[in-house]
Amino acid sequence: MPGMILLEPGNRILEETVAAQIRGGEKREAIDVRLCDFDDVSYRITVDKDDMDTMKVSMNLPCFCQTDKFGAETALAQYYKDHVQAEAEVGMDITLAVKLKEVKEEDKDALIKCLALLKSNITGGVFDYFFSALLADEKKEQFKFDLRGDTTVYFCPRDDRVTIVFSVDFMERVDKVIAKVFLQEFVDARKKIGRAPPCQWGEKPPTELADFGVTENQGNLGYISFAILKSHLDKGKKESVIQVLQTFRTFLQYHIKCSKSHFHSKMRHRVRELQKVLNRAKVEEEKKEKKTAAGKTFKRS
């Protein structure tokens, strides 16, 4: 879609924080950094003063308990098997313990990038679970999980495709209006792009959700579905599809905020222009000369 911006999947602050420790050499200080991400995800990066050679990266991922058996655990082992701590820190779902002295110089950049993609890799593992099965002609059961409090993702695998349905909602009334425009644009754009995945948007749930017992709108904004075929995943395209889909809700929220900011900017500009017109329309009263008792004249300011 013209004008749309794809967000980077990694967390920039997380990347800068771990990079400072991994590239910091022998001079390190104890740290305890906490930060938040999209989808109610939070991180904690610590280096304890009693063990300056170990950096712990912990993540609280609300949907992890739902997705651990559907690709999340597999992704965790695939990307972070050498660093996974047996017991996560209190209040966290995942904790990685990185031995800073053991990281080779040639591996530092790759490790930093991998840690910055912690949320993306784990959440994307669920999509990879179903897409890999589709490419291998394996049958998987249907599945759903709550990506965040107002968004549920449904996976509906078939023999030739995996239909992914996002049940989305927004708290603010203005956000709902703008979101409907964006979501309808996805459907309209599909008509112009022949190779794009089939896309549907509506307030009523699609027929695929009948197997989940969802036949009526459950009080949300609506449902948007993408039918992913094998042709969309083969020839190395799978990773790109996963990255785009698992950040779809964030992508939508970002563009809604950008649109509101643009509208406010245009309105402020319009108000300034109207003020200039009103100022030019003011009629200044002609100042009349007055005379004093002595006969002198003056103009009252």
Q: What is the pLDDT of residues 217-269, one digit of tens each?
A: 989 999 999 999 999 999 889 999 999 999 999 999 999 999 999 999 999 99
- Taking CB atoms within 8 Å and a gap of at least 24, the contacts of 208-211 are 208/154, 208/156, 208/163, 208/165, 209/154, 209/156, 209/165, 211/142, 211/156
CATH T-level assignment (fold) for domain 12-122? Yope Regulator; Chain: A, (3.30.1460)
* Beta pairing, strands 151-157 & 161-168: antiparallel
Q: Is 134 exposed, middle or buried (0-12, 13-18, 19+ CB in 10 A)?
A: buried
**43 with 59: CB under 8 angstroms?**
yes
For 66-122, write each residue's pLDDT tens digit: 999 999 999 999 999 989 999 999 999 999 999 999 999 999 999 999 999 999 999
Q: Give the pLDDT band (50/70/90) at residue 1.
A: very low
Predicted pLDDT of residue 298? 59
Q: Is the pLDDT of residue 2 over 50?
A: no
Six token digits for residue 172: 């603010």
What's the chain's length in residues? 301
Predicted pLDDT of residue 99? 95
Q: What is 140-257's CATH number?
A: 3.30.1460.20
Q: Tell me, what amino acid is at 263?
A: F
pTM value?
0.85
Report DSSP letters for 93-146, one per residue: SEEEEEEGGG--GGGHHHHHHHHHTHHHHHHHHHHHHHHHHHHTT-----EEEE
283/124: higher pLDDT: 124
Q: Is the pLDDT of residue 283 over 80?
A: no
CATH 3.30.1460.20 residue ranges for the chain: 12-122, 140-257
Q: Is the pLDDT of residue 3 over 70?
A: no
Q: What is the distance between the alpha carbons of residues 12 and 63, in angstroms, rounded to a whole number? A: 22
